[in-house]
Structure 1
Amino acid sequence: MNKVPIQIMDLTTLKAVVFELNQEIVPSRFENAQQIDSHTIQLGFRTLEKLKWIEISWLAETPRIVSIPPPKRYGEKSTLAKQLKNLLINLALVEIAQTGFERIVRFKLSSRPGKEIEKELIVELMGRHSNILLINRTGKIITLGKQIKNSQSRLRPIGTGDIYTSPPPLKGLVPDYFESFNSWKENICLVPSSFKNSLKNTYQGISPALTLQIASNDYKDAINIINQSVKSIELDTWEAIYKKWKEWLLDLKNNNYTISFEGPTDFKVWGQRKSKANNPKIGNSLSIYYSNKIVERKINSIREKLKQDLGNSKDHEMRKLEEQELLIQSISEYLTMQKKANNLLTLQSPTKKQIIEAQRLFKEAKRKKRSRESILNRVKFYKKKISEIENCELFLDSLMYGVNEANENKLDSIIELKEEVEEYICIKKNSPKFKSNRKKEDSSIIKEIQSPSGLKIQIGSNNRQNEFISLRKGKKGDLWFHAQETPGSHVVLKSSNGLFDDKDIELAADIASFFSRARGNKLTPIIMVPIENLQRISGSLPGTVRHRGGKVLWGKAERAAKYFPHN
């Protein structure tokens, strides 16, 4: 379980990364830069062995410096990337400096090692005040990640051409390894408050993650301790915390950093002894951590927005349907009117007045009948729209169930679903009309597992994927499965690739049951059809098909659940 949504790169982590980078890319020569978004830059440095990349982000929620594998070429033409390439080309990175408990890192560059520093790339990792700045030898700012106007900060506005000034000095005492237990405890207890607040307000370099780490190795215990008043903490607990405090300071002093993903926080870079057998690179591990967390945040953000949009659209269509059904009830008396008119005309000697009344009744009944047919068409239309929305809701829910999928694949799938919803369900007034003949790239990576006989079983995660696996990539000999008369994913057993048996059929039917609205049922009727018997219904959503023939099987969703853990 994640203790916090995203653990920030605090002072301790920053020191660990800077120490590692000094060993890996100093000295090196600057070679390339690319900006992948408005708050993230990637820099390439050529060492004697190879080109190594680092990523610097000044995003308020996840400011960071991490090592990354060689990235795809992207964002080389951004203004900041072009400026850095022009200004730093052929300069050597001779030092990466970070002093004290400040979260400021200076990348110092000169023409070659031993020469005067010509440029400094300054990275300030300070939450919403994070930034990246390039200064020349006189301290003038040449370019930067974001301008800070007077209206945004009276204390320290920053812009191109200004002389760089450091942020205000840190408040609090400098942590000292040689400070006695009594002095340390007394300083923290000067102002009665919770332990986490007292520690943060007393000493420099304290983050929420570090506070948890020195409190206990167990998350629940750590939370309990840091929220206690400093006046109520027992002496033995104080002594245990002080011991951890000393371990932390000793590791900082000796640059003893090893990353671990166990304990009260998502990760920890101190307090472990180094091992030659298993000593992962801190920068690379953090790169994977932040990349996954950022993608997860994007997925959750899109999911919540989609859930809201689909819910609003469904409510709207339901109201329209109810209105039409009420109209149906109000005009259903046309048969009674016809009967009454017939009775008047079948009289032996109807009067002129009765004939006129019968004609009026016939005319009104005819009008109501026409209205009823029109309303029935609208009822059919709204029911179809509601069914399409429910199908998208099912896809959104099914994205929570994976087969060890990479987060990037999940993000691609949910973006595809988002595009479908925007094109077909929640169409915006200013959106261009969808053109059925427009070119689309191949679908994102398809969710699939292996059947007992070793054949692939593919599952559609949205309408486009349904069409992709069933109509575009389905081959003669493949078998198609779908929950009968209920929204669900297309499931394709790739039986064209080899021999299959009853176990393969059973698993495919169970999966079709699991990825349907009938997931909660003990048994679900599943239609199995040779894929060549499918035909696309034109004018409908992608993946909407009709079929010839087929066989009804019974699927058990609970049998398929073990293949798809909930994310």
Structure 2
Amino acid sequence: MAFDGVTIANVISELKKELLGGRLNKIAQPEEDELLLTIKQPTGQKRLFLSAEASLPLIYLTETNKPSPMTAPNFCMLLRKHLQNGRITEISQPGLERIIRIEIEHLDEMGDLRRKTLIVEIMGKHSNIIFCDENDIIIDSIKHVSAAVSSLREVLPGKPYFVAQTQNKLDALRTEKEAFQTALASCPQPVFKAIYGSFTGISPILAQELCYEAGVDGELPTAALTDTDYDRLYHAFRHMMTAILEENFAPNIAYKGDTPVEFCALPLTVYACGNGRTVSYPTMSALLEHYYAEKNTLTRIRQKSADLRRIVQTALERNVKKYDLQQRQIKDTEKRETFRIYGELLNTYGYDAQPGAKSLKALNYYTDDTVVIPLDPTLSATENAKKYFEKYGKLKRTYEALSSLTKEVKAEIEHLESISAALDIALYEEDLAQIKEELTESGYIRRKGNAKKQKITSRPYHYISSDGFHMYVGKNNYQNDELTFKFATGNDWWFHAKQMPGSHVIVRLGNAEELPDRTFEEAAKLAAYYSRGRGQEKVEIDYIQKKHVKKPNGAKPGFVVYYTNFSMAIDSDISGIRPADK
């Protein structure tokens, strides 16, 4: 997906309409590289979300608020000091660069009018939010970039702000026909690559769209272009630039089947053929928030869960190694019964053994087969029998001890895999809090002496089936136990992915006598989706009434047993299942 210069132009067009003249009422920094600005307007309150996160830089208008830390970071405090109640006077973009300049005027401590600039750079891992004075001298930035990090430009307090020129691209908005043709002709590569490689703000998908509108094969080498091709390409190019200059944007997401493949601020007719389709949005902010909200949440929660994942993975690897070693040791005890039989046969037929013999043939009365028993020639038959019984006894004790230990280690592996699965489906910090508590209770995290248990606010997922039945999904082992053994009644239905870590799914039967087939299938899909089988074409799901599900004494959280059940194989697509809160 391309957050290109044209997308920025569309966002700026929206910001001008909504924010110009507004006053900065609140400035918050929810994350170390995010800002959430609340702007007061006569038409109401607006929120502007800014992110310089390396993997997902964003800027858009939103109605969603985000919780802020108890103590505001230094950058946030600096902005509040200078910009609180400041008025937004101008929002601009240099050319089609991925840069947004927000000009703000405010009164300083002496009551004099001052102007400051908040500059947002949407440039992948180089993204930043920079605060400058009226002379474009950097006051501070959300990320500091020293000469040791970048030889092109330092972003530090006191340094002049400028846009680093790393690519010799032309300004697409001001390119005439001759320069357009010269730029393409000097790039010996496919036409669409030459277009986005020559002009600022043009993404690969826009270049492909331009070729499609011009009726020129985008994969054609520029050397093969005719004068007619250049005429058609430039005509489509000017039409596109005019739409940008006149702010005639049409935000849309292109799909192939049900999968979003691209978004753009201009119509993507290139996806109109075949099984492609586009979905339009009233604003680019609405499009970006819809597309990136979940992705941004997942990115953040992945970062915040990194320490927990490392703890679980380390413990899991250690237990798997221990289990493999124990399995090998158990395999080494498989000869124990052979040694016992050798001892018994020597006690029975030992009188046939010749002094100094290295073996003895005897009839195995358990199987009626003749066996050859190896002997130590320095020992008598009775002494050889005693030696075999001693080996048998040692291996038997080893086997019995390992059998118990392997069950414990196997249970621990399953427990850790279930915690890992819970981390995979966690979406919010409160979900992680409950998982961290489970790891603490299990001894994997040491509780600090004066630390109190965190208040648990996470709740199971809640869905409504197409037939109106309430379906609940546990997010972790504690919630699984609570759902199954405290929340569900005996006749409610219980679902779980077969022989793999996953969530318990409870369907409340209510006053109904039986669940419809469609509800059974939807609950099974939830169990498949919230399990390690997510994404597989078919996942086998066990389901049974809750009264048949038991928890053994001393079992790990989330572990249950059942001895009779139904099963079905189903996909993990839950796109058609409605969450209860929507």
State the TM-score, normalized to the length of structure 2. Answer: 0.73
Alpha-carbon offset, residue 326 of structure 1: 1.7
Q: Is the 8 A contact 1:514 1:557 kept in 2?
A: no
- Match of 1:155, SS? coil
Alpha-carbon offset, residue 294 of structure 1: 2.8
One-letter identity of the residue aligned with 2:330: E
Counterpart in the other structure of 2:92: 97
- Structure 1 residues 415 and 313, CA, compared in 2 at 3 Å: closer, same or farther? farther
Counterpart in the other structure of 2:336: 331
State the TM-score, normalized to the length of structure 1. Answer: 0.75
Which of 175, 187, 191 aligns to 1:191? It is: 187
Which of 138, 142, 147 aligns to 1:141? It is: 138
How far apart in 2 are the matches of 1:195 and 1:235? 14
Aligned residues: 523
Counterpart in the other structure of 2:249: 257
Counterpart in the other structure of 2:294: 292
Q: Is the 8 A contact 1:510 1:557 kept in 2?
A: no
Q: Is the 8 A contact 2:488 2:546 kept in 1?
A: no
How far apart in 1 are the matches of 2:125 and 2:499? 51
Q: Is the 8 A contact 1:489 1:512 kept in 2?
A: no
Q: Is the 8 A contact 1:135 1:142 kept in 2?
A: yes
How far apart in 1 are the matches of 2:285 and 2:520? 42
> What pairs with 1:396-545 in structure 2 (closer than 5 Å)?
431-432=445-446, 441=456, 443-446=458-461, 448-450=463-465, 452=467, 454-460=468-474, 462-481=476-495, 489-495=503-509, 497-501=510-514, 503=516, 507=520, 511=524, 515=528, 526=542, 528-531=544-547, 534-545=549-560
Q: Is the 8 A contact 2:253 2:262 kept in 1?
A: yes
Q: Is the 8 A contact 1:506 1:555 kept in 2?
A: no
Alpha-carbon offset, residue 538 of structure 1: 4.5
- Match of 1:65, SS? strand
Alpha-carbon offset, residue 529 of structure 1: 4.2
One-letter identity of the residue aligned with 1:467: D
Q: Is the 8 A contact 1:523 1:555 kept in 2?
A: no
One-letter identity of the residue aligned with 1:12: V
Alpha-carbon offset, residue 313 of structure 1: 6.6
Counterpart in the other structure of 1:405: none
Q: Is the 8 A contact 1:534 1:545 kept in 2?
A: yes
Percentage identity across aligned positions?
20
Counterpart in the other structure of 2:36: 42
1:487-523 C-alpha deviation (Å, 9 max, x unpaired): 765343312x212226469927982997489999999
Alpha-carbon offset, residue 544 of structure 1: 1.4
Q: Is the 8 A contact 1:513 1:557 kept in 2?
A: no
Q: Which moved more, 1:261-270 or 1:19-28?
A: 261-270
One-letter identity of the residue aligned with 1:244: A
1:23-49 C-alpha deviation (Å, 9 max, x unpaired): 111101112112122221111111123
Q: Is the 8 A contact 2:131 2:138 kept in 1?
A: yes
1:313-349 C-alpha deviation (Å, 9 max, x unpaired): 78635622431332221434452255257549999xx
How far apart in 2 are the matches of 1:334 and 1:36? 69
Q: Is the 8 A contact 2:101 2:118 kept in 1?
A: yes
Q: Is the 8 A contact 1:451 1:457 kept in 2?
A: no
- Structure 1 residues 60 and 213, CA, compared in 2 at 3 Å: closer, same or farther? farther
What RMSD over aligned residues (CA atoms) do the two structures have, in Å? 4.7
Q: Is the 8 A contact 2:422 2:435 kept in 1?
A: no
Counterpart in the other structure of 2:406: 379
- Match of 1:267, SS? strand
Q: Is the 8 A contact 2:193 2:207 kept in 1?
A: no
Alpha-carbon offset, residue 78 of structure 1: 1.6
How far apart in 1 are the matches of 2:138 and 2:574? 55
How far apart in 2 are the matches of 1:29 and 1:521? 52
Alpha-carbon offset, residue 205 of structure 1: 2.9
Listed as ranges, the gaps of 5+ residues in structure 2 are: 270-279, 353-378, 578-582
Counterpart in the other structure of 1:557: 569
1:126-164 C-alpha deviation (Å, 9 max, x unpaired): 333322221223443222111111112233212112333
- Match of 1:285, SS? helix
How far apart in 1 are the matches of 2:525 and 2:267? 49
One-letter identity of the residue aligned with 1:247: H
Counterpart in the other structure of 2:153: 156
Counterpart in the other structure of 1:205: 201
- Structure 1 residues 489 and 110, CA, compared in 2 at 3 Å: closer, same or farther? closer
Alpha-carbon offset, residue 120 of structure 1: 1.5
Listed as ranges, the gaps of 5+ residues in structure 1 are: 1-5, 400-408
How far apart in 1 are the matches of 2:139 and 2:43? 31
How far apart in 1 are the matches of 2:105 and 2:457? 47
Q: Is the 8 A contact 1:133 1:145 kept in 2?
A: yes
- Match of 1:171, SS? coil
Q: Is the 8 A contact 1:195 1:229 kept in 2?
A: yes
